[in-house]
Amino acid sequence: MRIFNFSAGPAVLPTTVLEQVRDELLDWRGRGMGIMEMSHRGKDFAGVIAEAEADLRELMGIPANYKVLFLQGGATQQFAQIPMNLLAGRSADYIVTGAWSKKAYKEAQPFGAVRLAGSTEADAFTRLPRGDELKLDPQAAYLHICTNETIHGVEMFDLPEAPAGVPLVADMSSHILSRPMDVSRYGLIYAGAQKNIGPAGLVIVIVREDLLGKASAITPGVMDYAVMAEHGSMLNTPPTFGIYLAGLIFKDLKAQGGLTAVAQTNAAKAGKLYDAIEASGGFYRNPVELSCRSRMNVPFTLANPALDADFLAEAAELRLSGLKGHKSVGGMRASIYNAMSLEGVEALVALMQDFAARKG
């Protein structure tokens, strides 16, 4: 019996997809071997990666003038790779709304001039900055944001208005594919795979073509977006198994009705969990402002932290896993990505209600 896995990542994957992977692990389509054993230069894998890209383009409505790259190193490597490719001797603006955008801002600093255009750290990252709090440079090479902060549970539903001509660069790692997004509003989108896409190790970069070819002279070829685009993400051996599994998940999302249908399910799941928190009379609390509460990562604390261990123990008995909050925030965190079922959220809500009735 599988658990309900609320881990922030690596995270739950669709059972039907995992069952297909199991069935194809030793023999993919009668080839007598699995995807992990195939040459990335062969005809079979060329079809796998092309189909994965086509399905992702369809799901997200990616315009033709954007390249889709399947890379390695996760989103954290992109913190350095982005300024290496886009800074081009200029400065860049960063809006810091949580732990991950703060790390991106810090990681970019050795590569040139970066500016802190706005931050909500003084408010413990429980809200997004208002427009009048942002100090944006109209000459910036790009404006970097994190559209969903995994640790603090803050999600952007309305984007900041970048100055005309300044590309918006977004870390979407923890909510990509959770709802429709207008890709044309961004210059570059990147996302680590281990939340809504597939296994850890793969990162997807979606970059507008006019931003290619700006890499600094010290950028290695394998980290140069233009070079990787020219080689179809295969300058070196790509993470073939991760790309294959991601492709299966893209097909699964299409079968569900696409991102509009997925978004409705995600809103229903998040609504049930937030309603349970608000109806607890203060026994549970989510500190994030209502307008920017994440649908993917829901942190909450108990009024009495001494009860945390008991709550987690009871959750484990019910096969509810991965609920301990990040060490920098404490409390609990339920990550309810696409593959988390409504049944799983309902099981968590039932525990929360019962626990509060007994311990409150």
- Examine the residue annotation and report whether 171 is marked as an active-site residue of this protein: yes
Phi, psi for residue 218 in degrees, rounded to 5: -90, 0
Do the strands 320-321 and 4-5 form a parallel or antiparallel pair, or are they unpaired? parallel
Catalytic residue among 100, 102, 214, 224: 100
- Examine the residue annotation and report whether 28 is marked as an active-site residue of this protein: no
Distance of CA 114 to the CA centre of its chain: 23
Distance of CA 147 to the CA centre of its chain: 9
C-alpha to C-alpha distances, 272 to 11, 101, 342, 358, nearest whole angstrom: 20, 28, 9, 21
Query: For residue 191, what are its two tokens?
Result: 């996302």
Catalytic residue among 67, 102, 195, 269: 195
N residues, the chain = 360
Contact in structure between 221 and 204 (CB atoms under 8 Å): no
Plot region of 277 (φ>0 → left; ψ -120 to 50 → alpha; else → beta)? alpha
Phi, psi for residue 250 in degrees, rounded to 5: -60, -40
Rounded CA-CA distance 256/271 in Å is: 20
Catalytic residue among 93, 171, 224, 252: 171
- Examine the residue annotation and report whether 310 is marked as an active-site residue of this protein: no
Rounded CA-CA distance 324/148 in Å is: 19
Which residues are known to be catalytic? 100, 171, 195
